[in-house]
């Protein structure tokens, strides 16, 4: 019987493991996005992190369009926030579900010679905020990866939050990469 070299065996195991892992694919979803349902404690933790990202977005009168991405069985799904989370985040900012998001001007594809639509005077393109990953380390600590973008410019944040008393969370977010909003 011939002995298998350790490097060949290692390569075989790595390739076998890689073949078992499916890449994440976007799943086309028709109609209204389903509601992202979480417990009250997790909702409070998540709202503190989203609020920290929203506080970094100028100007205060810009609309925020909020969605959640999750990966299930190798497919990426999008969800909309529930009404309770929208109320928690609506402190002075207009936060809406993706279906209610106003149009974005200045980004798109037009044929040569075609004039792109012009926004009304004073119009501010909406900001899209997507929670892409979440991690809960017990009832007192949580973390999330959040992307905020407007008209093709994105900022990526890593956030963490900690409960410091019942129903009160303190979040910190750090921009990992992206463009500065003007």
User: Averaged over 32-55, what is the pLDDT?
Assistant: 92
Q: Is residue 167 part of a domain?
A: yes
Verdict on whether the full-model pTM lies above 0.95 = no
pLDDT of residue 147: 94
Number of domains into which the chain is organized: 1
Q: Is residue 129 part of a domain?
A: yes
Q: Is residue 117 part of a domain?
A: no
| Cα 117 from Cα 119, distance rounded (Å) | 7
- pLDDT bin (cut points 50, 70, 90) of residue 14 is very low
Q: Is residue 82 part of a domain?
A: yes
pLDDT of residue 67: 95
pLDDT of residue 133: 92
Helix (H/G/I), strand (E/B), else coil: 72:
strand
User: Averaged over 157-167, what is the pLDDT?
Assistant: 92
DSSP 114: P
Q: Is residue 11 part of a domain?
A: no
Residue 136's domain spans which residues?
Answer: 25-101+122-178
């Amino acid at each position: 019987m011939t002995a298998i070299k350790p490097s060949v065996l290692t390569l075989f195991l790595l390739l076998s493991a890689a073949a078992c892992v499916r890449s994440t694919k976007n799943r086309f979803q028709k109609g209204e996005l389903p509601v992202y349902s979480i417990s009250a404690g997790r909702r409070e933790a998540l709202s503190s992190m989203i609020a920290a990202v929203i506080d970094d977005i100028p100007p205060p009168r810009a609309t925020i369009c909020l969605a959640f991405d999750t990966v299930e069985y190798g497919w990426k799904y999008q969800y909309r926030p529930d009404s309770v989370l929208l109320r928690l985040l609506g402190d002075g900012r207009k936060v809406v579900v993706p279906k209610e998001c106003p149009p974005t001007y200045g980004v798109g594809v037009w044929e040569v010679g075609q004039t792109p639509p012009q926004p009304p005077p004073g119009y501010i393109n909406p900001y899209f905020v997507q929670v892409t990953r979440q991690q809960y380390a017990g009832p007192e600590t949580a973390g999330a990866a959040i992307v905020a973008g407007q008209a093709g410019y994105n900022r990526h944040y890593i956030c963490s939050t900690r409960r410091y008393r019942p129903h009160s969370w303190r979040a910190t977010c750090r921009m990992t990469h992206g463009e500065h909003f003007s």
